[in-house]
């Protein structure tokens, strides 16, 4: 396939049924130069072995998914979450990942404002670790439909305001088109991010939505203006990897190599510069 | 049941299997003083007969649902939508409805920005009719998960900015807690609405969400801070009806009178002043 795949990355969630080793081998076969790793799959071999696997394959680690999930009902549980984030930072450092993606977590009760404070406190608690290990923390706003069960950080504006509070080059934002495309201010907000963009993820919004959690579409099958958004992200100064992250039962049923082939084709057709 | 139901209204969508006549009779039995009418059910008898039915029952019409749905691929189709909105304005006037709720509609293609322009043009086209008939247009922002198939107006901020562009007492906003609760700026935005609030709707967000379209919960079954939001709406100056609007297959299977009884109980427990 002709076309420049030099900025493309496979987020491991897209090939759910592949192990990390299978995903790495698949990327090599497909000519995809980077991978976004999930911690549950990383646990299959551990960070040190995984780092060696990636290095031997010539693959870059564009992100480690995920840290975050800070709010909890008790002080002890919040401390446990922070400890887990510290382990994630160490793993991200071992992998030399461009960013540790923070999915900030839901409120433990009805008090979403208190939960947002817990997110800020959680990031504050791990910042010195991130700086010490040279790991960038990327606050990823999730679509508002996940506000009750996955993230109280629900808009790019909110993520920017939160990141700016730390005034540190170690705290940035990760933009996923699926989570922010609906926002009337999205282009202005991307511009406002400037050097704070630590990652860019793509998939598509298909209608009717097949599933709240696992209903993301392949690029080109939905309504998101993926090329315009990528241009905006680039114009803001981002020149890093573009991860394809798709949670979709139908796509997961395809053979892994077929997913990667389709993903490369659609990336070139709908995301990459023409 | 003790308690003040004087601001409570049944949005007809909550009792999907009842005709308008059945819903009116049900409200009278339950001591609910107002109803939000849907146009598809209004068509059962026509606006004049419905207005007489409500008047005879002593019921106020808190809203007519719905106008809007402006964006379309062709000029002819957009003109047809505007004509339909003019009929909705006439019906709202006959019913003496407090507001005609505008669900603004999705984009006909991937261009959500163009669709937002079509919404603005559509409202501009019907504004003189609304003023002539003394009907208030209420722009209702929908949850961003409906951005692709129901409304390109996805946040309270966007609805306020749009309403303010007309600078007319005939263009206001309708706030539904289900659509806006996730927004980190929601309390500030409600305050900013001030006299522009033309309606307030409640239901709840339950997890896991049973269905994208018909997954709303009964007040108290979910995570929305319904009392705090109602206090904010009141503090902004709103003193009109509070409509319960629930799309939920499980609730729809209950006998209509049982829905109303539960809804009154939960309204008093979770929404009304203590």
Which band of pLDDT confidence, cut at 50, 70 and 90, is reported for residue A2?
Answer: low
Q: What angle do CA B124, B126, B130 make, to 5 degrees?
A: 115
Set of chain A residues whose Cβ sits within 8 Å of the Cβ of B73: none
End-to-end CA distance of chain A: 15
Instruction: Supply the pLDDT for residue A1.
Output: 54
* CA–CA separation, A88 and A65 (whole Å): 9
What DSSP assignment string belongs to chain B? --S--TTEEEEGGGGTTS-HHHHHHHHHHHT--EEEEEHHHHTTT-HHHHHHHHHHHT-EEEEEEEEE----SSHHHHHHHHHHHHHHHHHHHHHT-S-EEEE-B--SSS-HHHHHHHHHHHHHHHHHHHHHHTPPEEE-PPPGGGTTTTBS--SHHHHHHHHHHH--TTEEEEEEHHHHTT-TTHHHHHHHHGGGEEEEEE-EE-SS-S-SSSBEEPTTSSS--HHHHHHHHHHTT--S-EEE---BHHHHTS-HHHHHHHHHHHHHHHTS--
How far CA A254 is from CA of A18, A34, A249, A258, in Å, comes to 11, 21, 9, 6
Q: From the CA of B43, how many Å to the nearest CA of chain A? A: 27
Q: Residue B134: left if φ>0, alpha if ψ -120 to 50, beta else—which one?
A: left
Residue A272: pLDDT over 90? yes
Q: From the CA of A54, how many Å to the nearest CA of chain B? A: 36
Instruction: Supply the pLDDT for residue B2.
Output: 66
Nearest to A20 by CA among A37, A32, A3, A5: A37
By percentage, how much of chain A surpasses pLDDT 70?
A: 99
Set of chain B residues whose Cβ sits within 8 Å of the Cβ of A182: 112, 144, 147-148, 154
Neighbour tally for A79: CB within 10 Å = 13
CB contact under 8 A, A144 and B143: yes
Choose the mutation target among B148, B188, B208 for the interface with A, i.e. most A CBs under 10 Å: B148
Q: From the CA of B181, how many Å to the nearest CA of chain A? A: 9
* CA–CA separation, A124 and A105 (whole Å): 15
* Long-range CB pairs of B250-255, under 8 A, 24+ apart, other chains included: B250/B210, B251/B14, B251/B218, B252/B15, B252/B16, B252/B17
Q: Tally helices (H) and strands (E) across chain A.
A: 11, 10
Set of chain B residues whose Cβ sits within 8 Å of the Cβ of A214: none
Question: Which residue from B minimizes the CA distance to A186?
Answer: B113
CATH topology of domain A8-270: TIM Barrel (3.20.20)
Question: Which residue from B minimizes the CA distance to A178?
Answer: B145
Instruction: Supply the pLDDT for residue B1.
Output: 54
- In the numeric block, the tokens 């062709």 are attached to B74
Kindly provide the ipTM of the predicted complex, given to two decimals: 0.96
Residue environment code for B4-15, b if the CB has 16+ CB neighbours within 10 A, otherwise e: ebebbbbbbbbb
The answer to whether the peptide bond before residue B208 is cis (omega within 30 degrees of 0) is: yes
Set of chain A residues whose Cβ sits within 8 Å of the Cβ of B159: none
Q: From the CA of A250, how many Å to the nearest CA of chain B? A: 19
A40 near A19, Cβ under 8 Å? no
Q: From the CA of A97, how many Å to the nearest CA of chain B? A: 30
Instruction: Supply the pLDDT for residue A250.
Output: 96
A82: tokens are 């922070």
Hey, where are the domains in chain B?
8-270
Residues of chain B falling short of pLDDT 70: 1-2
Whole-prediction pTM value?
0.97
End-to-end CA distance of chain B: 15
Which band of pLDDT confidence, cut at 50, 70 and 90, is reported for residue A274?
Answer: confident
3-state secondary structure of A111: coil
Interfacial residues of B (vs A; Cβ cutoff 8 Å)? 106-107, 109-112, 116, 143-145, 147-149, 153-155, 157-158, 181-185, 205, 207-209, 212, 222-225
Set of chain A residues whose Cβ sits within 8 Å of the Cβ of B145: 143-145, 209, 212
Nearest to A209 by CA among A141, A146, A254, A139: A146
* CA–CA separation, B227 and B177 (whole Å): 10
3-state secondary structure of A234: helix
Instruction: Supply the pLDDT for residue B264.
Output: 98
Question: Which residue from A minimizes the CA distance to B227?
Answer: A110
Residue A233 CB partners (closer than 8 Å, separation 6+): A175, A190, A197, A200
CB contact under 8 A, B158 and A209: no
A175 near A156, Cβ under 8 Å? yes
Nearest to A144 by CA among B107, B180, B222: B180
Q: Is the Cα dihedral B180, B185, B188, B189 positive or negative?
A: negative
B185: tokens are 């700026």
Helices (H), A108-153: 112-133
Residue B2 CB partners (closer than 8 Å, separation 6+): none
Residue A25: pLDDT over 60? yes
Instruction: Supply the pLDDT for residue B274.
Output: 86
């Amino acid at each position: 396939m002709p076309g420049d795949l030099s900025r493309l990355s496979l987020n491991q969630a897209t090939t759910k049924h592949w192990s990390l080793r299978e995903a790495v081998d698949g990327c090599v076969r497909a000519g995809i130069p980077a991978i976004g790793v999930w911690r549950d799959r990383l646990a299959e071999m551990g960070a040190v072995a995984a780092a060696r696997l990636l290095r031997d394959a010539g693959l870059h680690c564009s992100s480690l998914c995920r840290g975050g999930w800070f709010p909890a009902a008790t002080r002890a549980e919040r401390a446990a979450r922070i400890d887990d984030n510290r382990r994630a930072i160490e793993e991200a450092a071992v992998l030399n990942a461009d960013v540790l993606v923070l999915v900030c977590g839901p409120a433990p009760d009805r008090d979403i404002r208190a939960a947002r404070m817990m997110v800020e406190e959680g990031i504050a608690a791990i910042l010195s670790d991130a700086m010490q290990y040279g790991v960038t923390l990327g606050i990823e706003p999730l679509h508002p439909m996940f506000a009750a069960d996955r993230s109280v950080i629900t808009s790019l504006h909110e993520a920017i305001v939160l990141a700016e509070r730390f005034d540190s080059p170690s705290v940035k934002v990760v933009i996923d088109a699926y989570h922010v495309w609906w926002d009337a201010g999205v282009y202005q907000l991307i511009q406002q991010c400037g050097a704070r963009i630590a990652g860019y993820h793509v998939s598509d919004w298909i209608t009717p939505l097949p599933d709240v959690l696992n209903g993301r579409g392949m690029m080109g099958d939905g309504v998101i203006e993926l090329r315009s958004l990528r241009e905006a992200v680039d114009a803001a100064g981002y020149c890093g990897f573009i991860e394809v992250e798709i949670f979709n039962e139908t796509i997961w049923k395809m053979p892994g190599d077929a997913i990667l082939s389709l993903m490369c084709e659609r990336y070139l057709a709908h995301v990459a510069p023409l």
